Amino acid sequence: MKKIALALSGLIAIAIGGFLIFGPAWFEKQTNMVDGKPLPAISAEAQTLHDSLMIVDLHGDTLLWKRKITDSVDRGHIDLKRLQAGNVGLQIFSSVTKTPRGQNYDSNSADTDNITLLAITQLQPVRTWFSLIERQLYHAQKLGRAVKDSAGELATISNAADVDGLVEFRARDKRPIGVLFSAEGLQTLEGDRANLKKLYASGMRMAGLVHFFDNELAGSMHGEKKGGLTKFGRAVVRDMEQMGMIVDIAHSSHATVADILKMAKRPVVSSHGGVQAVCGVNRNLTNEEIKDVAATGGVIGLGYWDGAMCDTDPATVAKAAKHVRDLVGIEHVALGSDFDGAVTTRFDTSGVVQITQALMDAGFSEAEIRAVMGLNALRVIKAGIEPIPKTVAPPQSEVTPATPLVVKPGTDARELVTE
């Protein structure tokens, strides 16, 4: 009997070990997918234009998964080689720290959390198992290690000078790729404003206040109460703008969006999502919200998955871009893929030329395509990540939008981010 018990214990140990080794990769393969539906052929004209673009993606969730950005893998949507193949110039990586059980777009409680189990099964450091702030700081460390391990192929973006340098270097030899750290919800502050300084010191330069549930700062579009900013949330928004951290309204309730846009002094972004005029799901922006984002000088990052576009066809992304352009101007359209965000898309980041082709097919000019694919986002990032000197802070009622770009065909990107 002892031999049988020992054998069973050994088998169980082997099974657990096998799951811990192979389980996370298997799970991600079922979670971040490409649907394999037909895509149009890429014209020589579109490829030539695409190869000359400075491309910015405002949102990817790769840091959540058990793999390195510098590793080439057969799952998910983003890694270094695929970023290079897609000619992506700057990728914003967001930190997901908590998601509710039974996650949906309509109503979620903050009482459950899927990421705890994921952190444990991925064998993350023990400190991350039951601490949201430690999970986020761990993601910052992962991104920092990726930059170090990339042999100069990745570069951290922390200030406006970094943006200028990135554009200058990429204009010469298409390297490095800039990376910037963001947050999918600031529940990680755990009620303490001082934790925002820790996140800033870790490299964070953009953050959404909420994710799929209401938290201490604000109501989520997918939460139970869907309220607006709390007193704590208002204080955090002021702190973010002061220190040079871009405010992201993605996932925010309509009440929270309204409150943020009323008090914003700097450009605001919606990093990943869509517009209700094209896809009428609750997480997408209304026309009035689009106008209010534009009034701050901000941008709307359009996603590629069906929850944002109601399908995965790149032509629908172009349709959403046209709606925003016609409503408030081309300078407020950007890209926010949500790659690796537990979504299914038509292509991964190596195939982002499909968006260039779709915009061309929809009649966008070369200048408009350059703006949508990255120059608008660069403008807002550069304007938003510089700290505001306390001695010259604008009055409470003043909004300081990023200066809109007027882009001519063939303009060198270096000319567009140095003002």
Superfamily of domain covering 44-416: Metal-dependent hydrolases (3.20.20.140)
DSSP string, 193-223: THHHHHHHHTTEEEEES-SSS--SS--BTTS
Element holding 232 (H helix, E strand): helix 231-243
pLDDT of 309: 98
SS3 label, residue 156? strand
Tokens coding 108? 């979620």
Cβ count within 10 A of residue 4: 8
pLDDT of 289: 98
pTM, 2 dp: 0.90
pLDDT of 269: 98
Q: Is 104 exposed, middle or buried (0-12, 13-18, 19+ CB in 10 A)?
A: exposed
pLDDT of 400: 47
From first to last of the 419 residues of the chain, give the pLDDT tens digit. 565 555 544 444 444 444 455 568 888 999 999 999 999 999 999 999 999 999 999 999 999 999 999 999 999 999 999 999 999 999 999 999 999 999 999 999 999 999 999 999 999 999 999 999 999 999 999 999 999 999 999 999 999 999 999 999 999 999 999 999 999 999 999 999 999 999 999 999 999 999 999 999 999 999 999 999 999 999 999 999 999 999 999 999 999 999 999 999 999 999 999 999 999 999 999 999 999 999 999 999 999 999 999 999 999 999 999 999 999 999 999 999 999 999 999 999 999 999 999 999 999 999 999 999 999 999 999 999 999 887 645 555 444 445 444 334 444 443 333 23
pLDDT of 389: 82
pLDDT of 390: 75
pLDDT of 270: 98
Cβ count within 10 A of residue 110: 18
| Identity of residue 10 | G
DSSP assigned state of 334: E
pLDDT of 47: 98
pLDDT of 20: 53
Closest CA to 97 of 135, 69, 50, 71: 135
pLDDT of 325: 98
pLDDT of 23: 66
